[in-house]
């Protein structure tokens, strides 16, 4: 099937998720653990979002840097198989490609912890942006992830893309202060260049301690004049549009196998809806459908909804 609508570019993480299964010794165990099983799966928040977009029929492309190692090749293969454009990809033969490591204990797959190792994503610098911006056309969408690429680089690229008449969306995947080491002023500068903010609630608590979802919407909308969608897992999502109207879209109840990647699938559904001309609330509802569907399978993107599945669901 052909792809429809404008191009949606992602500037953020693409990785291999290395999933380790271990014996279960309880939450207090702190000694060595033997990996009984190791699986390589496609991962990275931005890459996952692009996969969901592509599976629904959207035109998705990734802007990033990889090494020429086996992990980099696996990342490329996982994206190109999904039809995601890699024409802007920079290869660095001296770099290590990014990967994530997560461990799960026992038959119940209790998640012990997860670690993000950005490697060459953390090396993307201002010198790379002149290359990336040549791929951005007016009315393209650009998703910028707050996470593994240095935040000042993200801010500069958001400014360049906005000047090129792209529609800039910011996904706050990691706490920009506590995790990424940025200052509130640096975060504010990035936010000032976007037309849609999509933070998860937890990632904003260093900037706005104790604030609830509705309060966060109001604060961000009032300060930046932008639409905001705040995701909060099982609580669903809350949003405010550019006019100040509030929305709440509950999460859809499913038999949950794995919640990793659900937020990325949600964002993919939202961006696909908006890029195809669906209304703001309808796009958020589409995101909720995609997020719930992905929870039914193990792995960040193994359960992401396809175009045919969405058609059957909606009809």
Residue for token pair 């958001």: 158
Measured CA to CA, the distance from residue 202 to residue 29 in angstroms comes to 26
Centroid of chain to Cα 83: 18
Task: Quickly state the pLDDT bin for 300 (edges 50, 70, 90).
Answer: confident
Q: What is the pLDDT of residue 295?
A: 82
Of 222, 156, 148, nearest in space to 186 by CA: 156
* Dihedral-angle region of residue 236 (phi above 0 means left; psi in -120 to 50 means alpha; beta otherwise): left
Q: What is the pLDDT of residue 15?
A: 97
Measured CA to CA, the distance from residue 97 to residue 142 in angstroms comes to 22
How large is the average pLDDT for residues 176-190?
96
Is 4-14+45-97+124-314 assigned to CATH 3.40.1190.20?
yes
Q: What is the pLDDT of residue 1?
A: 39
**pLDDT per position as a tens digit, 120-132:** 999 999 999 999 9
Q: What is the pLDDT of residue 260?
A: 76
Answer whether residue 5 shows pLDDT above 70.
Answer: no
* Dihedral-angle region of residue 139 (phi above 0 means left; psi in -120 to 50 means alpha; beta otherwise): left
**pLDDT per position as a tens digit, 223-253:** 999 999 998 777 889 999 999 999 999 888 8
Share of the chain above pLDDT 70, in %: 98
In the chain, where do the E strands start and end?
A: 4-11, 15-22, 37-43, 58-62, 65-66, 90-91, 99-105, 110-117, 141-146, 167-172, 196-199, 227-231, 237-240, 246-249
How large is the average pLDDT for residues 74-99?
97
């Amino acid at each position: 099937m052909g792809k429809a609508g404008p191009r949606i570019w992602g500037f953020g993480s693409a990785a291999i998720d290395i999933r380790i299964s271990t014996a279960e010794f309880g939450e207090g165990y702190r000694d060595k653990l033997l990996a009984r099983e190791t699986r390589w799966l496609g991962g990275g928040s931005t890459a996952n979002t692009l996969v969901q977009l592509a599976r629904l029929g959207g035109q998705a492309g990734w802007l990033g840097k990889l090494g020429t190692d086996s992990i980099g090749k696996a990342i490329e293969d996982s994206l190109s198989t999904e039809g995601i454009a890699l024409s802007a990809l920079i290869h660095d033969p001296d770099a290590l490609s990014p990967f994530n490591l997560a461990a799960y204990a026992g038959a119940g797959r209790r998640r012990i912890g997860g670690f993000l190792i950005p490697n060459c994503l953390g090396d993307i610098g201002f010198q790379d942006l002149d290359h990336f911006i040549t791929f951005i056309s007016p009315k393209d969408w650009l998703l910028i992830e707050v996470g593994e690429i240095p935040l000042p680089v993200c801010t500069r690229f958001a400014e360049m893309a906005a000047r090129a008449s792209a529609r800039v969306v910011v996904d706050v995947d990691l706490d920009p202060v506590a995790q990424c080491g940025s200052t509130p002023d640096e975060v504010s500068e990035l936010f000032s260049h976007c037309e849609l903010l999509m933070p998860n609630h937890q990632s904003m608590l260093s900037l706005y301690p104790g604030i609830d979802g509705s309060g966060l919407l109001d604060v961000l909308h009032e300060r930046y004049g932008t639409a905001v969608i705040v995701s909060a897992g099982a609580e669903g999502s809350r949003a405010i549009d550019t006019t100040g109207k509030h929305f709440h879209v509950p999460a859809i109840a499913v038999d949950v196998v794995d919640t990793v990647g659900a937020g990325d699938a949600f964002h993919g559904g939202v961006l696909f809806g908006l890029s195809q001309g669906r209304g703001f609330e309808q796009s958020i509802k589409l995101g909720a459908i995609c997020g719930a569907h992905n929870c039914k399978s193990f792995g960040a993107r193994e359960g992401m909804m396809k175009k045919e599945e969405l058609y059957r669901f909606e009809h």
